[in-house]
Amino acid sequence: MTHKGILRRWKFTGLVALCALPVFVAPLVHFLAVAPFGSTVFLWLELPLFLAFSLALGGMVVSLVLLVNRRFRPVAIRTLIAAVILSAAVLMGIQWGWHIRMTAFHRLAERSAPLIQAIRAYESQHGSPPRDLAALVPGFLPSIPGTGMAAYPEYGYFVSQDLSEKEGNPWVIIINTPRGGINFDEFMYFPLQNYPTKGYGGSLQRIRDWAYLHE
């Protein structure tokens, strides 16, 4: 093999490795968003992945057209391979990242059990839910807990003034969980467990006794 051939092969190998990188980037982005030291800033890194996926689709179309021309066929084949790897890496990375995100919210639902129990105990003792989470301290909780996610650190607690709201629940917990960009996802707890399939601007996914609102 000539020197140019070896150099061309190494360049193509580097290109393939670069195209496969999104399979690791998306999971890392979601991990950093839901970690105790995370931030929603990391989620903005997903936007270039969607751009890369669009470019990969365009590259596949162009390469398929160029395959009919013998002169451009070698370049078209390399472009097609790189585009297929890139698009597959983006899709796999986003799916893996989403799995990491949902697993984190499963764990958050588990960690939130003491808070739910404290609210129910207050409600049972006083005949009505607490006006805010501070009312639970120190009788029912030593302190107001955090979520353990730096990107979404606080529980939002709301007492329903009108039982026609929030499916008739007397109180609800809502954590704002945006995924970057213009997004209004939420993680919510209804004590009556009567989550609708759709509503509140999106669809709801049940996660243990909670529900994740995909806005």
Q: What is the radius of gyration, based on Cα positions, of the chain? A: 24
Ramachandran quadrant class, 143 (left: phi over 0; alpha: psi -120 to 50; beta: rest): beta
Q: What pLDDT shows up at residue 48?
A: 81
Boundary (domain end) residue, out of 78, 104, 130 = 104
- Helical (H) or strand (E) element with 111: helix 73-111
Write out the two tokens for 201: 């601007």
Residue 79: pLDDT over 70: yes
Same domain, 91 and 135: no
Residue 202: pLDDT over 50: yes
Band of the pLDDT at 3, cuts 50, 70, 90?
very low
Strands 171-176 vs 202-207: parallel, antiparallel or unpaired: unpaired
Of 163 and 139, the structure prediction assigns the larger pLDDT to 139
Same domain, 125 and 189: yes
Of 76 and 130, the structure prediction assigns the larger pLDDT to 130
> What separation in angstroms does the CA of 193 have from each of 141, 183, 188, 206?
23, 25, 10, 10
Domain that holds residue 169: 111-214
Mean pLDDT (whole number) for 61-73: 86
> In angstroms, rounded to a whole number, what is the distance separating the alpha carbons of residues 63 and 113?
54
Indicate the range of 42-51, 134-143, 145-154 predicted with least confidence: 42-51
User: Which of 30-34, 56-60, 87-91, 209-213 has the highest average model confidence (pLDDT)?
Assistant: 209-213
Using an 8 Å Cβ cutoff, are 46 and 29 in contact?
yes
Boundary (domain end) residue, out of 57, 78, 104 = 104
